[in-house]
Chain A
Amino acid sequence: MGYLSKASRTLRQSNYLSLLCSLNFNPLTNRITHGRFSVTRELFCPQSRQYSTTTRDKSAIDLSQYPPELVRNFSIIAHVDHGKSTLADRLLELTGTIKKGHGQPQYLDKLQVERERGITVKAQTATMFYKHSVNGDDCSDGKESPNFLLNLIDTPGHVDFSYEVSRSLAACQGVLLVVDAAQGVQAQTVANFYLAFESNLMIVPVINKIDQPTADPDRVKAQLKSMFDLDPSDALLTSAKTGEGLEQILPAVIKRIPAPPGRSESPLRMLLLDSYYDEYKGVICHVAVVDGILRKGDKISSAATGQSYEALDIGIMHPELTPTGILLTGQVGYVVSGMRSTKEARVGDTIYHTRTAVEPLPGFKPAKHMVFSGLYPADGSDFEALNHAIERLTCNDASVSVTKETSTALGLGFRCGFLGLLHMDVFHQRLEQEYGAHVISTVPTVPYIFEFSDGSKLEVQNPASLPSNPKQKVTACWEPTVIATIIIPSEYVGAVITLVSERRGQQLEYSFIDSQRAFMKYRLPLREIVVDFYNELKSITSGYASFDYEDSDYQQADLVKLDILLNGQPVDAMATIVHSTKAYRVGRELTEKLKTVIDRQMFEITIQAAIGSKVIARETISAMRKNVLAKCYGGDVTRKRKLLEKQKEGKKRMKRVGSVDIPQEAFHQLLKVS
């Protein structure tokens, strides 16, 4: 997670820090006396987990001053790029939690992949302290205004993580629903709204980016009214970029969002929001204390696994780990309990005092894997390295299922199950970025169910595991579907309908949000959106479409297994399951694509696509004619030798089926054919 680089930066700052320490501030009072926009001079190093505890006056934070009435737990939900992370940054700055201009932008998105993609993958929490006068008077009447403890719970926005989102929201009493003032309501806005609405959360609409020349807040207000029945007068108008309107947000949070409802006197119940693996501390769990009180040293148990732990270190994220020794009802913080793997820390789990009887919090579900793909080391000899990288990464992302598998073409590898496409992408990217693993991934597939004439059923997570010529006749097959929400400018409706019907979509709803935007709901086979649907949708709508989906039921479908054969030998890693109406087209596309990526070799290569024993598409790559070095005299030997060794190395990196060498590129290219 980049802590190493952070640590090095911290070292550079250490002189600076010690200098500041000698000034001996009381950070809390200092912050209170200065106004909202004043530059807070808190002794805080946003880059450092390790140092934050040493530079802070520990006695400064006394959580017992914050009974539930003075606590607000809220989340920010938004469509991608509507300004969620920037708004979060501004709120952290506003409360002096991070120093303006000193923290890295998008403070809560810690992973490289999150920053690059502008998405949130892991839930994060941050505790802020904010002085607010309940009566609306300022401090001039001499009566000290109460300090509020605000927990901002940042959730992933994407549907793949909707379970994590729902758990995060379960710890909140309200949300800021952020909508871009120019783009208006988008598909993820809709999905997130309903998640919050169904959780009975107070919704504070925030129309953001009002500084844009194309901003049209009134239109967005009208959309909020017509789509979600939100009162236009409740909407806050802000620009996280310029700071305009930001001062209204925290007062609105305190006024409109209710305090957490838990009971301090009840036995402890904590909701596990997410977990991280830290090199030094082990697993760090983010928790929300629903009822009761957690103290350092308490014995605690997990309702999902039944395992017991000791609360070795507890505290709040302010915004880095800040030990407090106690967490009270309604508060959100972290627990280090000696868990060895995040697999023990299941999102949504209930944690309670060992040997007390409590009702687990509702809504716990184990992860459900919707997309599977094979992951193989790009270089066959790197299996151990990949194994290690996957083990380390799953320490931090327990929602991936991993089983070993073997492919004749690719050797030893793993079949991984993911929550969805984005989750898969993110996993690949993190493997490469954080662990330097080079992988070949097979075409993602969805879990199909095949039923045979003897009544047996087979769940197929890897097309290769389905026999090409089964002894038992296949009597029925089922595929998973999703309900997709698509919001587009109305001029693209025709193109989108064409695309969706090509993808075997079934229209469920079609309406207009306002005069310019259409809203459509479709049932789509998951398989059809797995690879390139979103890109295609973006391209036919000039990037204006927004798209989101939720899992739905299995439906019966006419599915066949499509094998790819090279010189008559099936390549297991290239087998796919497709709808029978598409088999011919896909077969043709796959063989054509392979023809362009497989290099000519010393013999002719035939590429075939086949269903069972029936060949439906065929291409040939003619034999190489010439590859010869003209001269090789004394001075050339070393150079020619290097050239040939390079050629040999190139061959070594290829995957071989029969006598045919397949470049790794071929597997990447296949991902582009759906």
Chain B
Amino acid sequence: MLKSTFTPIFWVLTPKPNPQNIPSKALTRNFFTNSTPLVRHNASLNPATPSTPASAYIHLPFCRKRCHYCDFPIVALGSASTQTHLDPRVSNYINWLCREITATKVNQPASSTPLQTVYFGGGTPSLVPPALVSSVLETLRVKFGLCEDAEISMEMDPGTFDAEKMREMVALGVNRVSLGVQAFQEELLRSCGRAHGVLEVHEAIGVVKSCGVENWSVDLIASLPRQSSEMWEESLRLTIESQPTHVSVYDLQIEQGTKFGRLYSPGEFPMPSETQSAEFYKMASRMLSDANYNHYEISSYCKSGYECKHNFIYWKNKPFYAFGLGSASFVGGLRFSRPRKVNDYINFVQNLENGLVDSSGDGHIQGKDTAMDVVMLSLRTAQGLDLRSFQESFGGSAVLSLLEAYKPYVESGLVVYLDEQRRTIRIDDLNYSFLNKPNTEKRVAYIRLSDPEGFLLSNELIALAFGVIDSWKDCFPYQEAEAT
């Protein structure tokens, strides 16, 4: 529903990014002002009919080995196994995965909401033989239907595919590649336990481009141990030179239970200091913006029109299916996580088939919980929180309480208030009485975090909003609300 309406307008109306002002602002205005009314009428404000998911996440957990920072539910096959089509662990898993898809309850007939996005995440999905990927897509198509122009993304790691495999994937319908480059330095790749080197990175980029994948992303990790600003600058430069349409910049998180978790503490040598790490973030924001990438979400950059549609489903708090080991779905208002261990997962699928478990909710959610999700997710995006729809879901005083809480941070430049036309409202012009006159020019229509300072402190700022929402006296238990 989204795609068909906005995509053409988007292409036509997108102006050239502002050379120095936040470029994404100009972009997202068009992007969202067009989609907003649609979404409002469609789903979020009609509590009686919770929307049916039009997106599916597929977890393909296989990796050659576990990276040192990784705490995902993965299955390490061992570096020797390149012939994954012969590995029964892979084919068995795909079998269970398809059984899960088939056994999932759906409320409406498949024809009503065919899938508009499918995302193969991992793990290393590119390790899975195309024939097995094909069976998954076929199962999805039978179960839910699949739009002709659906966005089908796949995470692919350098060194796990060649041109032939790439072409086969494209032939199956994969039209977006998220390439797990992480770094362009041999020593960094080695120290974080990646199964590939820099040579494979360049080869993979070549393969993706030569196979005609138009929409592809380079994924980078900032703040790796012993990463210098020169290295980071080089990675960003080489990324820009390879001309992907999308760049994801992840800040390394030290997770408990990982090798890094045992070796390092954030901010302590050899990890970069907090200041250094903030500088890395700002460098990425600056260099990528200068290269005409829009910073449309905290860790996502793209050329105009190449936002990852699947990921936007998450940030809009829209429902989505998820299948496979450890994956989390959001259906009928319930966030449901599947078991992270293969045997437990198989049990789960059997129970699902026998009707003993149900991974979808009844559409009933707590108002405050939804409000927190909406705020947390939408403030990650450059578009920010749409106050009009927030007010319709949670009331005018809810909006006022947020505006009040963020006011000091508007003054210090971490938060930006925008009007209906997505123009920044100067602090002197802030007058809350305008809020009650919806058509007034100076009404605050969006709250967003500034780039990069506000994004850098997003946890603090979002936690602040949580405190505000927590103190709300009461909240209408709307069944669904979406960040728009």
A residues apposed to B, CB below 8 Å: 601-603, 624-635, 637-638, 640-641, 643-645, 647-648, 651-652, 659
Could you tell me the distance between the alpha carbons of A634 and B308 in the complex, rounded to whole angstroms? 13
Asked whether B110 is an interface residue with its Cβ less than 8 Å from the other chain, the reply is no
Could you tell me the distance between the alpha carbons of A624 and B459 in the complex, rounded to whole angstroms? 11
Is A630 a contact of B467 with CB atoms below 8 Å? no
Note all chain A residues with C-beta closer than 8 A to B298.
Answer: 628-630, 632
Which one of B191-199, B322-330, B345-353 is at the A interface? Answer: B322-330
Q: Knowing A634-B320, A651-B463 touch, does A628 contact B330 (C-beta < 8 A)?
A: no
Note all chain B residues with C-beta closer than 8 A to A643.
Answer: 459
Is B412 a contact of A645 with CB atoms below 8 Å? no
A635: nearest residue on chain B (CB-CB)?
A: B328
Note all chain A residues with C-beta closer than 8 A to B467.
Answer: 648, 651-652
Could you tell me the distance between the alpha carbons of A637 and B333 in the complex, rounded to whole angstroms? 13
Is A648 a contact of B466 with CB atoms below 8 Å? yes
Is B327 a contact of A625 with CB atoms below 8 Å? no
Hey, what's the 0/1 contact readout for B367-391 against A, CB within 8 Å counting as 1? 0000011001100100000000000
In the assembled complex, 19 residue pairs joining A and B whose CB atoms fall closer than 8 Å, in A order, are: A602-B414, A625-B274, A625-B275, A627-B456, A629-B253, A630-B252, A630-B298, A632-B314, A633-B121, A635-B327, A637-B330, A638-B335, A638-B337, A640-B376, A645-B463, A647-B463, A648-B466, A651-B467, A659-B408
Could you tell me the distance between the alpha carbons of A626 and B299 in the complex, rounded to whole angstroms? 14
Find the residue from A635, A640, A647, A659 having the highest chain B CB count within 10 A: A635
Is B250 a contact of A626 with CB atoms below 8 Å? no
What 16 additional pairs, Cβ within 8 angstroms, besides A625-B277, A626-B277, A632-B314?
A602-B414, A602-B460, A624-B457, A625-B278, A626-B457, A627-B459, A630-B251, A630-B253, A631-B248, A631-B299, A637-B330, A640-B376, A644-B376, A644-B466, A645-B372, A651-B463
Asked whether B470 is an interface residue with its Cβ less than 8 Å from the other chain, the reply is yes
Could you tell me the distance between the alpha carbons of A633 and B299 in the complex, rounded to whole angstroms? 11
Asked whether B10 is an interface residue with its Cβ less than 8 Å from the other chain, the reply is no
Among A601, A628, A641, A652, contact of B376 (Cβ-Cβ < 8 Å): A641
B300: nearest residue on chain A (CB-CB)?
A: A631
B residues apposed to A, CB below 8 Å: 57, 121, 248, 250-253, 274-275, 277-278, 281, 298-299, 311, 313-315, 320, 322, 326-330, 335, 337, 372-373, 376-377, 380, 408-409, 412, 414, 455-464, 466-467, 470
CB distance from B179 to the nearest CB of A (A): 16
Among B275, B314, B380, B457, contact of A602 (Cβ-Cβ < 8 Å): B457
A601: nearest residue on chain B (CB-CB)?
A: B460
Could you tell me the distance between the alpha carbons of A279 and B393 in the complex, rounded to whole angstroms? 52
A640: nearest residue on chain B (CB-CB)?
A: B376
Is B250 a contact of A602 with CB atoms below 8 Å? no
Is B459 a contact of A629 with CB atoms below 8 Å? yes
Could you tell me the distance between the alpha carbons of A456 and B361 in the complex, rounded to whole angstroms? 72
Is B328 a contact of A625 with CB atoms below 8 Å? no
Could you tell me the distance between the alpha carbons of A177 and B337 in the complex, rounded to whole angstroms? 70
Is B458 a contact of A628 with CB atoms below 8 Å? yes
Could you tell me the distance between the alpha carbons of A641 and B466 in the complex, rounded to whole angstroms? 10
Which 9 pairs show the lowest CB-CB distances between chains A and B?
Answer: A625-B278, A635-B328, A630-B251, A626-B278, A648-B466, A647-B463, A630-B250, A627-B459, A648-B463
CB distance from B125 to the nearest CB of A (A): 14
Note all chain A residues with C-beta closer than 8 A to B250.
Answer: 630-631
CB distance from B386 to the nearest CB of A (A): 18
Q: Knowing A634-B322, A648-B466 touch, does A628 contact B314 (C-beta < 8 A)?
A: no
Is B466 a contact of A645 with CB atoms below 8 Å? yes
Could you tell me the distance between the alpha carbons of A302 and B335 in the complex, rounded to whole angstroms? 68
Note all chain B residues with C-beta closer than 8 A to A632.
Answer: 298, 314-315, 376-377, 380
Among B299, B408, B458, contact of A627 (Cβ-Cβ < 8 Å): B458
Q: Knowing A644-B466, A648-B470 touch, does A634 contact B330 (C-beta < 8 A)?
A: yes
Note all chain B residues with C-beta closer than 8 A to A641.
Answer: 372-373, 376
CB distance from A126 to the nearest CB of B (A): 54
CB distance from A603 to the nearest CB of B (A): 6
Could you tell me the distance between the alpha carbons of A51 and B435 in the complex, rounded to whole angstroms? 72
A643: nearest residue on chain B (CB-CB)?
A: B459
A600: nearest residue on chain B (CB-CB)?
A: B274
Note all chain B residues with C-beta closer than 8 A to A659.
Answer: 408
CB distance from A350 to the nearest CB of B (A): 56
Is A633 a contact of B314 with CB atoms below 8 Å? yes
Note all chain B residues with C-beta closer than 8 A to A631.
Answer: 248, 250, 299
Note all chain B residues with C-beta closer than 8 A to A645.
Answer: 372, 463, 466
Q: Knowing A628-B281, A628-B459 touch, does A603 contact B373 (C-beta < 8 A)?
A: no
Could you tell me the distance between the alpha carbons of A627 and B302 in the complex, rounded to whole angstroms? 23
CB distance from A401 to the nearest CB of B (A): 35
Q: Knowing A634-B314, A637-B330, A638-B335 touch, does A628 contact B251 (C-beta < 8 A)?
A: yes
Could you tell me the distance between the alpha carbons of A72 and B215 in the complex, rounded to whole angstroms? 99
CB distance from B256 to the nearest CB of A (A): 12
A629: nearest residue on chain B (CB-CB)?
A: B459
Is B414 a contact of A633 with CB atoms below 8 Å? no
Could you tell me the distance between the alpha carbons of A644 and B252 in the complex, rounded to whole angstroms? 18
CB distance from B302 to the nearest CB of A (A): 15
Is B314 a contact of A627 with CB atoms below 8 Å? no
B449: nearest residue on chain A (CB-CB)?
A: A628
CB distance from B73 to the nearest CB of A (A): 9
Note all chain B residues with C-beta closer than 8 A to A629.
Answer: 253, 298, 458-459
CB distance from A646 to the nearest CB of B (A): 9
Could you tell me the distance between the alpha carbons of A630 and B458 in the complex, rounded to whole angstroms? 10
Could you tell me the distance between the alpha carbons of A626 and B337 in the complex, rounded to whole angstroms? 29
Q: Knowing A627-B457, A630-B253 touch, does A644 contact B462 (C-beta < 8 A)?
A: yes
Q: Knowing A626-B281, A635-B328 touch, does A644 contact B311 (C-beta < 8 A)?
A: no
Is A625 a contact of B456 with CB atoms below 8 Å? yes
Is B373 a contact of A626 with CB atoms below 8 Å? no
Is A603 a contact of B376 with CB atoms below 8 Å? no
CB distance from B1 to the nearest CB of A (A): 19
Is B463 a contact of A637 with CB atoms below 8 Å? no
B72: nearest residue on chain A (CB-CB)?
A: A635
CB distance from A229 to the nearest CB of B (A): 64
Could you tell me the distance between the alpha carbons of A626 and B452 in the complex, rounded to whole angstroms? 10
Is B463 a contact of A628 with CB atoms below 8 Å? no
Note all chain A residues with C-beta closer than 8 A to B455.
Answer: 628
Note all chain A residues with C-beta closer than 8 A to B315.
Answer: 632
Could you tell me the distance between the alpha carbons of A631 and B326 in the complex, rounded to whole angstroms? 17
Find the residue from B409, B456, B459 having the highest chain A CB count within 10 A: B459
CB distance from B258 to the nearest CB of A (A): 14
Is A647 a contact of B408 with CB atoms below 8 Å? no
Q: Knowing A602-B409, A625-B274, A626-B281 touch, does A637 contact B377 (C-beta < 8 A)?
A: yes
CB distance from A639 to the nearest CB of B (A): 9
Note all chain A residues with C-beta closer than 8 A to B337.
Answer: 635, 638
CB distance from A397 to the nearest CB of B (A): 37
CB distance from A77 to the nearest CB of B (A): 53
Q: Knowing A627-B459, A652-B467 touch, does A637 contact B373 (C-beta < 8 A)?
A: yes
Could you tell me the distance between the alpha carbons of A644 and B461 in the complex, rounded to whole angstroms? 10
Note all chain B residues with C-beta closer than 8 A to A625.
Answer: 274-275, 277-278, 456
A627: nearest residue on chain B (CB-CB)?
A: B459
Among A626, A635, A652, contact of B326 (Cβ-Cβ < 8 Å): A635
